Structure 1
């Protein structure tokens, strides 16, 4: 991996740390979503030692099975891998996508993700991604606590560059590069959509499972082929990548708006959910606080979808990381004590 690492790039341990979530995510599928036909686990060929590879409902998919351009491999970038998951051989036309830090905490049904009456159900958080509005004036939206203010244009040919006349594409890349890989990729995708579709209040999707339609994803990647190609070839996380769920959800929304403008399609493509109560998000960090919220959740068990995300960067001590690991292991063992068929007996 270090052979491919760009000079000056710092590796973040949380991108490679394993809390054992996958085992319990699969237990949650068996316990609460037995209508799921098959589970495809995408790895670089690694197989967990505990996984029952003889079970007919699970398959390991290697990166080389789905990447179109094998020169983009090896990759250590989840954004690049996501770009190709709809190419898994044998995948249903519509499939449920989960990261390994998701799990189901109650019974879930297909209608929690999609119905004919609502179309795809899109769960958004409170965050909005900033974008340039009124051509070159300024960015007026907030992303977490960051306010970004743009510069005035030098002339009408330079859409938002206040220093020298460069292309809008170059300006988009320069702006997104100011931020980290996650927020930068949101910003980059939002600016690209602003140029393609115009101004909109584009929210950040909740970090939760959702359904992908292969035909929609193919149309999205055909429309923005250059951006997806750039995302695919980035071996490590980078601000200049399309953010997968954000790009997909807002493409669905644009498609629905386009259909409405054309007077076509009475059946909705998507429904936006902002005030949902079926989702919880927990993050590692302070082990005492984490233990408190997870213990409370064990008593309540009042959500369907849960994300237990790793927020521990390189500043955390080995001792604190170990304490977080102990808290997580205890929580999962209490919530999902029974071994699933996905595991070796």
Structure 2
């Protein structure tokens, strides 16, 4: 008899048609651990060099409560998204659809006609148009489950997160529908949130307060900068059960000391306490782009290629440091991911579009 070859490898998605192969009847049935539901991916992305975006940002009153929120490194596009998509294409071929959430921006290299990619405007997902424009990643993340057509189970990635080795859906989900999360060894600082806290710390502290009030437990660990495995039904439940926290975060145009880290902390601990998420393990690396040994660390990562996921993060670099960082980072990413993804226009197409413009 014949059956889909998706039955014989976790690297293939069971949610889209696959070629059939000849097999025995005994082998043509799915196993209990096989994941047969579709998995989509959501990215958030911004190009801080875009003049139209800069005008919107300049018109937004206020500067945010903490200097890190306004640091140029937060909005700088170093081309990471292009290579993160290459990593996804190379190491997660089981993904169904990719959604790119932006403030009406589209990367010049992205093939907008690619069947597996959709660019989503903030206007399409925010519950209240009065909250826009927004420059607060916590606010944008609070609305991701509103994407029309998004699969029930999905991964959320920042553009500085990359897959470094082959992955399977089982790395992020259980076949019964539970999601996995990946606690960090980094701890949420003690005490209440304050103006001296960087935005991620304040948001983590707010989650800690909410989890303790709801479940009576005290959380202490942050999450690693990995793809976050999420379920839409749980996110809608969080929006319903914690309306103040949700609306407060979504309404802040700039990062605020009152924000909640909804998809990178609250979801994980709420889903765990309600028996819909479990801790998981990934071989993971975090590289700070402002570290003086950046080139050495990237060289080691490239030579070993032993991490399933790695994050190349920067929130504190000064503008004078960025050209050297960009040079080192570009060389690393091109060496690690030299093969273009199906989501890119060819250099010829890119060149011709520039001429006609």
TM (norm. structure 1) is: 0.79
2:286 aligned to which of 275, 281, 292: 281
Aligned CA-pair RMSD: 1.8
* 1:60 partner SS: strand
| Aligned mates of 1:195, 1:277 — CA distance in 2 | 30
Matched, 1:19 2:19: no
Among residues 251, 255, 261, which one is paired with 2:274 in the alignment? Answer: 255
Q: 1:182, 1:239 within 8 Å by CA — same for their partners in 2?
A: no
Q: How does 1:32-47 map to 2 (within 5 A)?
A: 32-47=91-106
- Separation of aligned partners in 1, 2:71 and 2:184: 25
Post-superposition offset of 1:254: 1.4
Aligned match of 1:60: 119
Q: What CA deviation, in whole Å up to 9, does each residue of 1:62-105 have, x standing for no partner?
A: 00000010000000011000010111111011111111111111
How far 1:40 moved relative to its partner?
A: 0.4
Task: Give the aligned partner of residue 302 of structure 2.
Answer: 298
Query: Are the equivalent residues in 1 in contact too, given 2:81–2:160 (CA < 8 A)?
Result: yes
User: Do 1:180 and 1:238's aligned partners in 2 also have CA atoms closer than 8 Å?
Assistant: no
Residue number in structure 2 paired with 1:194: 212
Counterpart of 1:342 in structure 2 is: 343
Indicate conservation of the 8 Å contact 1:118/1:271, yes or no: no
- Aligned pair in 2 of structure 1 residues 210, 78: CA closer, same or farther (>3 Å)? same
Q: After the TM superposition, which parts of structure 1 deviate over 6 Å for at least 4 consecutive aligned residues?
A: none
Aligned equivalents of 2:340 and 2:273: distance in 1?
Answer: 43
Displacement of 1:213 in angstroms is 0.6
**Shift of residue 36 of structure 1?**
0.5
Match of 2:88 in 1: 29
Matched, 1:240 2:258: yes
SS in 1 for 2:184: strand
Are residue 226 (structure 1) and residue 244 (structure 2) matched? yes
- Alpha-carbon contact 1:5-1:236 (below 8 Å) kept: no
Identify the structure with bigger relative contact order (alpha carbons < 8 Å, sequence gap 6+): 1
TM-score, with length taken from structure 2: 0.76
Which ranges of structure 2 fall in alignment gaps of 5 or more residues?
A: 1-56, 347-357
Alpha carbons 2:63, 2:254 under 8 Å: kept: no
